[in-house]
Amino acid sequence: MALRPVLQALPAGSCSLLHTSVKGPCPSPPLPAASGAAPARVTARLTVTGRDENSVELSLGDSGHKLILTGKPFRMDLLQGRELVLSVNPRGLLHFEHLRHRKDSFSDKVSSSVGSLWDKIKKLQRYHDPLIPGPTSVGLDFSLPGFEHVYGIPEHADNLRLRTTEGGDPYRLYNLDVFQYELYNPMALYGSVPLLLAHNTQRTLGIFWLNAAETWVDISSNTAGKTLFGKMLDYMQGGGETPQTDVRWMSESGIIDVFLLLGPAPTDVFRQYTALTGTQALPPLFAVAYHQSRWNYNDEEDVAAVDDGFDTHDIPCDVIWLDIEHADGKRYFTWDPNKFPQPRNMLGRLAAKRRKMVSIVDPHIKVDSGYRVHNEIRSRGFYVKTKDGSDYEGWCWPGSSGYPDFTNPEMRAWWASMFSYDQYEGSMENLYIWNDMNEPSVFNGPEVTMYKDALHQGGWEHRDLHNLYGFYVQMATAQGLEQRSGGLERPFVLSRAFFAGSQRYGAVWTGDNAAEWDHMKISIPMCLSLALTGISFCGADVGGFFKNPDAELLVRWYQVGAYQPFYRTHAHLDTVRREPWLFGEENKALIRAAIRQRYALLPYWYTTFYHSYRSGQPVMRPLWVEYPDDITTFSIDDQFLIGNALLVHPVTEQGAHGVQVYLPGKGQVWYDVHSHQKHHAPQTLYVPVTLSSIPVYQRGGSIVPRKERVRRSSDCMYHDPYTLYVALSPQGTAEGELFIDDGHTYNFESKAQYLHRHFSFASNTLTARSADSKGIFESPAWIERVVILGAGKPAAVFLRQPGMAETRLDFQHEPETSVLTLRKPGVNIGADWSISLR
């Protein structure tokens, strides 16, 4: 066994993460590398500062951290100064099983230390696993003194704050096609990110358990079950334990490869984690807008009718989706010759309206000697194999199906080539891709997935890399969309399965939810958990995939979705049609209003995605990320922030007449974005609501760019003018940013073709300047309005531009709300200027 602590020095400052790896004779399966955007990692200096016969003390660079390594029993203790931050193996649960020859009975093969655990797992799985190479499980425990709140390890339909698992099943990470999943359950769902975050008022930590095999996470706490009153009573009586959370990780195979992310701030942990796995890819602008989908739009005429319906009813939409029925007998990369005989004409009609289409391409391939895709994969030997070396076959939508081995780089390269316009016949530049069923889903397999003893390239069993399969499917698909444009265009790929690093290749969604109020409500913590683990581009099927929503639920879900990063409605084949105009004029108007709010905020959404791409910060984030010392925020998951400027509390209760909104930030103010009313923080505010209400607040001290001329698609709005919403802090200051590029290519990286603008308000002057002088980009868009919240009435307002005479601007002031509106500054969005209130 080799233990190697490595201190990684990342940009932003002090010592940031500790990497330990425990290896037996079994090497690790192929795992994804970080993206090219990740900063270089260098090993910091480790200095021995003390030792005895059984332990050694190391100083970790200049960070103030010390590491105490103890030999017998093995233990690692990480300290900052005299404070114990984290302990590794404090309960002595380190376990790794080496490869050995097969024995005759399962009980002989499983060591007593983990036999009961794996016996339990086998009972849960309800199928025979031959375990030909013998068991190779690994496990390790961690203690987090001072921490009561832990988060992450998606995907689970559960609260944001992870619960203790004492007395119940541990959280499971094992990608599965789950039909109508249960809520508030540690059961495995479609994706897995083995990253856990711990947070208290002093610091944030992360534990990244890099293992793609089936993994279980046990969480215990010495404060579990204690009420807030009980904790306070302990404190008042001078007793009580220091809060502590203990976490045990267990994986069926592989090695122990752990990164300890030391923070100390939440932003530091995000930066450290995404330095390892990559940041969220900057999506094309259209992908951040509204998507219309169902299983399935019937034919080309149906697509045209839905497309026209958005225009007839004056509702913006960027993308129409096609599910599995569009293909010829569910043979992917084809079109049904009767229902979709002229796909290029269909795509051309959408392109003429500046809209896109997404078609589904799943990773199960129909076994059919007349199907070119199947024949090529088989002839090249690219299918996953059975243990006897034949092609693995399972049952999925097309019937008998083969499963390409996406862990094979040659297979991924071939798959990527299939998206070229000459290979994917009928495709065009405005066709993008959806990878579903990529857990992988196998209808007749154990737990509706692949047998664990199926073999991948290099002899790896499927058990070793199961959670990576969907990651590699999305990777190969995204690379194919890039390659078809010669590397110029940014791809859009939606994936149901995911792993650490999937954020580099597109978006994910929360899978097959139901048209129920609790499913809509749970989508918020599910997306927040994904965002905390690097995957910012996430959303839930608006309206619910299964069952039929009533009008109230559908309206509320459109309102929730308008403030989640990925905004798509989708529904099961057997549900009633639910295009936005099918529920009466009043409900149509409410849905239209919600979608229009999304479109008006696209400049802010896109800028926030750009920051996520650059720095790894989540787009949609829990309140505690921005207010890390406010204990009230630690368990809140029915409201959230978009970036650092907008606080959203969607209405998720049936028949609600009001919601309780917590406004954080001592000495701060928040403005209702609809009424512009100012509220002082911190406070819990009771907000009366009607069916039209979406409680959203802009933080005082922020500037949010908007486009208020909403058109049929984001592309139609591209050159339209901007409105700046300036929300003043109690000190009379504010700042914000705007990122603009062409919205679809990599030219912002390869040719520095972008504008990154910075706006600031101080001393009664609003100033615009470049936030990044490297970016050069021309846009005809201009500033048509500035709205200043919390402003007094000036005597006059003047615009100044370099080299030009000062000009006077018209304005309107509303004394009841202290809103000052400056009309038509008329300055180009890329110009430097200042506006003075006198």
DSSP string, 565-577: SSEEE---TTSPP
Give the span between the Cα atoms of 521 and 267, in whole angstroms: 26
For the beta carbon of residue 688, count every other beta carbon within 10 angstroms. 10
How do the domains of the chain map onto residue ranges? 100-135, 361-465, 701-837
Find where tokens 């809509």 sit. Answer: 520
Of the candidates 363, 565, 331, 321, which has an alpha carbon nearest to the alpha carbon of residue 470?
A: 363
What integer is the mean pLDDT of 192-196?
A: 98
pLDDT tier for residue 9 given thresholds of 50, 70 and 90: very low
Integer distance in angstroms from the first to the last C-alpha of the chain?
A: 72
Give the span between the Cα atoms of 321 and 287, in whole angstroms: 12
Query: What does the pLDDT read at residue 244?
Result: 97
Phi, psi torsion values for 216, nearest 5 degrees: -125, 140
Dihedral of CA atoms 543, 548, 549, 550 in degrees, nearest 10, equals: 150
Residue, of 20 and 307, whose pLDDT is higher: 307
What is the SS3 string spanning 675-733? CCCEEECCEEEEEECCCCCCCEEEECCEEEEECCCCCCCCHHHCCCCEEEEEECCCCCC
pLDDT tier for residue 14 given thresholds of 50, 70 and 90: very low
In three-state secondary structure terms, 580 is coil
Beta-bridged to residue 221, according to DSSP, are 245
The sheet with strand 399-402 has its strands ordered as 365-366, 399-402, 393-396
Of the candidates 577, 498, 491, which has an alpha carbon nearest to the alpha carbon of residue 531?
A: 498
The residues annotated with a catalytic role in the active site are 436, 512
Question: In terms of C-beta density within 10 A (0-12 exposed, 13-18 middle, 19 or more buried), how is residue 616 classed?
Answer: buried
Beta-bridged to residue 754, according to DSSP, are none
Range with the poorest average pLDDT among 207-221, 223-237, 349-363, 387-401: 223-237
CA distance to 327, 379, 455, 465, per residue, from 403 (Å) = 18, 14, 11, 14
Find the angle CA(375)-CA(378)-CA(381) to the nearest 5 degrees. Answer: 150
What integer is the mean pLDDT of 166-195?
A: 96
What integer is the mean pLDDT of 205-231?
A: 83
Give the span between the Cα atoms of 502 and 533, in whole angstroms: 10
pTM: 0.94
Express each pLDDT in 416-475 by its tens digit: 999 999 999 999 999 999 999 999 999 999 999 999 999 999 999 999 999 999 999 999
Q: Which two tokens stand for residue 279?
A: 């940041």
Express each pLDDT in 656-665 by its tens digit: 999 999 999 9
Beta-carbon contacts of 690 under 8 Å, excluding residues fewer than 6 positions away, are none
Beta-carbon contacts of 778 under 8 Å, excluding residues fewer than 6 positions away, are 830
DSSP string, 317-386: --EEEE-GGGSBTTBTT---TTTSS-HHHHHHHHHHTT-EEEEE--S-EE--TT-HHHHHHHHHT-B-B-
Give the span between the Cα atoms of 266 and 706, in whole angstroms: 28
- Judge contact between 798 and 835, C-beta under 8 A: yes
Range with the poorest average pLDDT among 118-127, 137-146, 705-714, 749-758: 118-127
> CATH number of the domain at 701-837, out of 3.30.830.10, 2.60.40.1180, 3.20.20.80, 2.40.40.20?
2.60.40.1180
